[in-house]
Each structure stands twice: as C-alpha cells, then as structure tokens.
Structure 1
C-alpha cells in the first residue's frame, strides 16, 4: 500500500481555533476592564455629587447669618474633598461711587468636579453656566422700586484649607448684626464670584440689569447689579466671625 503524506489541515484548524479563543478572551478582558473603569468613574461621580449635596445642606444649616445671634456650632461631613476660605468683596455703589466695601469672603468646597460655595449669605452649587443658588442671599428689592435692602454675611475667617479625612469639619460662628441707612439714590450691588451665572439670574429676578466687571484688577469679576429708580437703601451686615476646624 502506498503511504499517504500526513495531512496538516487538522492541526491548522486547531491552531486557528486556539488563536480565535485567545483573541476572544483578550477582547473580553479589555471589555471587562473598560466596563470596570466606567463603573468606577460612575461611582466616583456619584460619590462626589452626594458629597456636594450633603455639604450644601450642612453649610446652610451651620451658617445661618440672618437667623442666629451669638455663638453657634455646626458640622460639615464629606467622604473626600477640601474646604477652604477665599477672598471675595461685596460693594454697594451709588451715582457718586462706592458707598460701602465689605470683605465678605467665601467658604468653598470642591471634590471630583463638584463645587459648593457660601458667599455673602447665599449658597451656590455647581460651576460655570450650571451653577445655581440653592440658598438665596439676603438682598431684597421691593417690587414698587422704593427700597433696597443689601444684606451681606461676612466670614471674618483666616485663610485656610481643610481636607476631609473621615472626620467632620466644625464651623463655629459668633454672629453679630449691624444695620445702617445709606439714604436715597440709585444703587448698584457688585459681588466678586467665580460662579457669576447663579448671581446674574438672582439679581435679574429682583429687577436689576446685570453686567460683569473686574473692579479691582485682581482677576476675579464682579457681577454688578444696577437697580432702577431712586430708592432708599439699607445695608445690613451679618458678621459671622467664623472658625473652621477638624473634629
């Protein structure tokens, strides 16, 4: 019997099957890696959003400039992020120029692309065009155009940054109030902020026209709200004398 040469077809198919399985396994591993990374990012984003919501509520509860007089202690809780104080000014101007300039300052929380800021008595959550006031500042303009009350909370705190590391951050305040009449005139209110969209919307709802301007050349624009008509203005300063600390 004449011998037949050995056939390699079977071994070739076997090798192809092995390569195919290896490629399939590789694709599956990569896909699982991408899925795991996506889930991780989603969890981080969810945690950041939850922290920002919690911090907004805690800050609103701890810093109550209009309601509280004297000593008050509140706490802010978050799983991650930093809480810091930054310099911010609020100005009241009339037709003659600046009649009051206050170092309001801001308390800012940031984590994973989320931001919360307490400024002048208002609490802003978010950044850019998505920023919104979740607690309105104590600035009130009467619908009849006769009265403007500019309430402003000043922190009076040292510049510092506190990181969250499993312990709550304590906010201790000793609140005092001062009220003075500014007299009749046409008034503008200017507030330095890195979230102008939220403040523009608020002042427009009060009937003011709004522009942005860097009034002192420090690189931070102020939202300038011009109120129509001559009116009597009052300035009410709620000085918080804030102390920020861990534990």
Structure 2
C-alpha cells in the first residue's frame, strides 16, 4: 500500500488500496474506495538498472498462497544468509531514503517494504546496492492486500507508516489510510509489545490518527498524545522543507497490548 503513503523523499508515491480487503467480515466499507492513486513517474537509468540487477533478489512476488511472509523470509535468510531476529513492515516507502537509513541502523531487523510506485522501488534497490544492505525485502503491490493475505497474526515487531497521503478535501477523507478497520488488522499482525509508528505533516490528519489509534483496544499509546520523533526516523527532504515553511510534523507510536480483546464488540450489548 503505498503511496500516497510516503512522500519521504519529496517524490509522489502511492498508497495502499481498498481497505475493504482488510476489513473483518460484517464491517461495511465500499470496495471501490482506494487510498492511493497511480501517479506518473519516470524511472531513471540507475533505477532501471537496479530493478534488473537487484530486483530478482530483493523484490518478492505478491502471492496469496504465502500466508506467513515474515516466517518465509526469516527461514530463507537463515539458509546461509544473515539471521534476523525481528521483522518490521513499512507501508509506502516512497523513494526509500528513510527505509535504507533505518535498515542500516538496525542490521538485525528484517524490513519488508510495500510500494507500488516503480521509480520508488528502483530507487530503494539502488540504495540497497550502494549501501550493501541485506535486511530489506520489497513487495511491489497494494499493501492492504499484502497485509490481508500474506502477513500472519502476531508476526511483526513493528509497522512504519510515514507521511501517508492526507487527502486534504473533506469529501476525500474516506480515502485516508488510517481508518478503524485497517488499524485493527494492523494491530492483529503485531506481536504483543510490537509497535505501530505513524508520522504526518498534516495536523487535521494527525488528530484523526490519534483518535483512531486511541480507540483500538489492541493498541496503547506510548505518549500522552503525540510522541517525540524516534531517533531512528530521519528527517526527510520533504519534512525539512515543511518545517522551514512553518509546518509541523507529528509522530504517533502505539504498542500492541498483551491481552487480546474481542475484535469487534457488539455495540448493541451496551445499549
């Protein structure tokens, strides 16, 4: 899911689609609603070369018959390759600058990034080659579908969603990625104690994120409201430009609580 999801390097990206795919049975959400749009973008020669040379190794196919992608990746890496003790899913990595930065800081963690924007995939592959990174895998597909069909419950140590498309106009708010059905599915994929880290530069969206995340019974806020920017998340070019213009940036870091809660309580019982 991936654009509108991340504008981390000041390039248009694409965000995840159809929240309906991840919604539990009985939760209404029109299937036509998509949280990303496909934007035109030119793949550079370097990105195309990286796609051809490194894509076969680091880009994984979307395969609904792989119900536990994290376990499959960890097993494959353990077969003669580096062994990773943790796994983090990133939704919408844009041009991959933040992803590569964080992966270099945490070599023992496997990062699985979802992005549909081909220039962004090529750009991250280029960084992987230049920095000799071995702990990144990419799925070039709608992250909502990847989450629904390839990520097992209780399998992730963390989830990153940096600068999703805020969909500024009120009539487009239904397209925002952070909505209760998807947040519940994200929480279910986290191990107890695992974290969900979101960041946005649009204050109204930050407020909605805080409300939606705070209402999810499987998540607990790590701060009274918004969190300080964790040291591992770098300031992006887009973010620095916004700060120069007086825009704010809001980070939210929630953790999966150990005790499971009923996924969708019957509200009629409380009446």
Greater per-residue helix proportion: 2
**Greater gyration radius:** 1
Greater per-residue strand proportion: 1
